[in-house]
Chain A
Amino acid sequence: MSTDIVAAPKKESLFSKQNRRLLSDPLDDSNPITVQVLGICSALAITVQLQQAVIMSLSVLFVMIGGNVIVSLLRNLIPDRIRIIVQLVVVASLVIIVDQVLKAFQPDISEKLSVFVGLIITNCIIMGRLEAFALANKPGPSFLDAIGNAMGYAWILLAVSIVREVFGSGSISLPGMGQVKFLPTEWFMSEGGFYENNNLMILPPMALITVGVIIWIQRSRNQSLIEEN
């Protein structure tokens, strides 16, 4: 069960101090990627371009909210013995819906994300929150917890992908807008200029290094995260 969250008392407003922490904690102190180091696989794989990161973040947000709220609503009905299977079924069906919708409305990005949409099912953040939070809490707090964690995942993805795309491809891309190259072409060495894109940036190792730098900055700002040994 979750370490920092106790089941909310009966009459508590949705935006009480405790509930607000559900939203703010995952953004920093208990960030799923940088502190709990969950969901790293997809974070490294799909952050080459901002548009993929945006779509991935929205997909995770949808699955997270849907999964948390549904499991929380069913928490008194789910038989204990098959609770993991039930959680898996809920997450898997939400992911399939997301995948189908992407294929219909964002075919190009869906192609680029390829297997990683399907792999949202195995994203530890989602199963972790269902098991640790939604099963023991009401739908309201579960909803906030889902938004908090999905946002904690999303901002890292967006930050990493912005860094990687700007320095790796010299562009910024958003869904529906396509890729916008903001550097004048005559700056590039191939056109006789002085600038060259850093190809290392679009390779997976650079995602790890970028996440590492974010963790470094976060820990130097927030000393309580540093383990003693």
Chain B
Amino acid sequence: MAIDKNSTGYTFLFSIIMVVVVGTSLAYTSLSLKERQKANAADKKMMNILGAIGVDANRANASALFSDYVVERVAIDMNGQELLVTSSAVDPKDKEDPFGIDVKKDYRASVKSAVKAADGDETALLAALSNGNLRFPLFRCDKDGENLFVIPMVGSGLWGPIWGYVALEEDKTTIYGAKFDHKTETPGLGAEIREDFFTEKFKGKKLNADARALFTITKGGAPTDEYSVDGITGGTITSKGVDEMMNRTLKVYSRYFESETRAQR
């Protein structure tokens, strides 16, 4: 071969061609599969929301069951003001649709750093997030005549993001059901938040509107009352993450519920 394979120029040329070829083919793959992946993610989201109200759905029937049970989708802002109410069919292309609000993305983009900066100071957190144009989705469901509210939430565990869906009963203080999941928590410890034994404990518990914390995940087998559940042994930071995520998110919604009841009076 005429070209010196080990010359710097050849090495650079080879790298550049390689990067262009690989980049193009990966971009093409990603673009051509995007629609399917989005549809899968939407199905999964519907399954999770239905799971929080105790309806078992699979990928095949998720969207049908979703339109059966979920009667209203609401978007609210950080201060609990209602922005939009819709009961039409879910439209994945509609940017305004509360179903399309990506709480995970919002969390990554602004909420996570604000939570860290506020370091437990609620007013600081509220001030930091109020001007961020954050939208929060709420799903009002009708299950056998019961009015249920499903609230999606995202937070941080030990290694990565955790998220969940909490369903409240019509009184907006009793927990009807919960579903949590995580990306990379430690198997056998923090990862257990997705298991039924943990989520079962939330059923029938109440949110304490008068106390500083709406709800507590206790540590080390401390006694639990109707406003708290026992955390996971060996999964302290994940449990704390669930605690923080629930309190931060539910407070936004309790502001909304309050203003709504005032309006009804």
A79 x B5 contact (CB < 8 A): yes
The distance in angstroms between the C-alpha atoms of A78 and B14, with both chains bound, is 8
B30 at the interface (CB under 8 A from A): yes
Question: Which residue of the partner chain A has the closest CB to B1?
Answer: A76
Q: Residue-by-residue, is A196-210 near B (CB-CB < 8 Å gives 1, otherwise 0)? A: 000000001000000
With known contacts A89-B22, A93-B25, A107-B40, A77–B6 Cβ distance under 8 A: no
B6 / chain A contacts, CB cutoff of 8 Å:
79-81
With known contacts A108-B59, A115-B184, A82–B11 Cβ distance under 8 A: yes
A86 x B18 contact (CB < 8 A): yes
A100 x B30 contact (CB < 8 A): yes
The distance in angstroms between the C-alpha atoms of A67 and B41, with both chains bound, is 30
Interface footprint category on B? 20 to 34
The total number of A-B Cβ pairs within 8 Å is 55
Interfacial residues of chain B within 23-72, with CB under 8 A of chain A in the complex: 25-26, 29-30, 33, 36-37, 40, 43-44, 59
Q: Residue-by-residue, is A82-107 near B (CB-CB < 8 Å gives 1, otherwise 0)? A: 10011001100100110011011101
A107 x B26 contact (CB < 8 A): no
The distance in angstroms between the C-alpha atoms of A78 and B10, with both chains bound, is 10
The distance in angstroms between the C-alpha atoms of A105 and B22, with both chains bound, is 22
Beyond known contacts A85-B15, A103-B33, A103-B37: 12 more, CB 8 A cutoff: A79-B10, A79-B14, A80-B5, A80-B6, A90-B22, A93-B22, A93-B25, A96-B26, A97-B25, A107-B37, A107-B43, A107-B44
Question: Which residues of B are at the interface with A, using a C-beta cutoff of 8 A?
Answer: 1, 5-6, 10-11, 14-15, 18-19, 22, 25-26, 29-30, 33, 36-37, 40, 43-44, 59, 183-184, 187
Question: Which residues of A are at the interface with B, using a C-beta cutoff of 8 A?
Answer: 76-82, 85-86, 89-90, 93, 96-97, 100-101, 103-105, 107-108, 114-115, 204
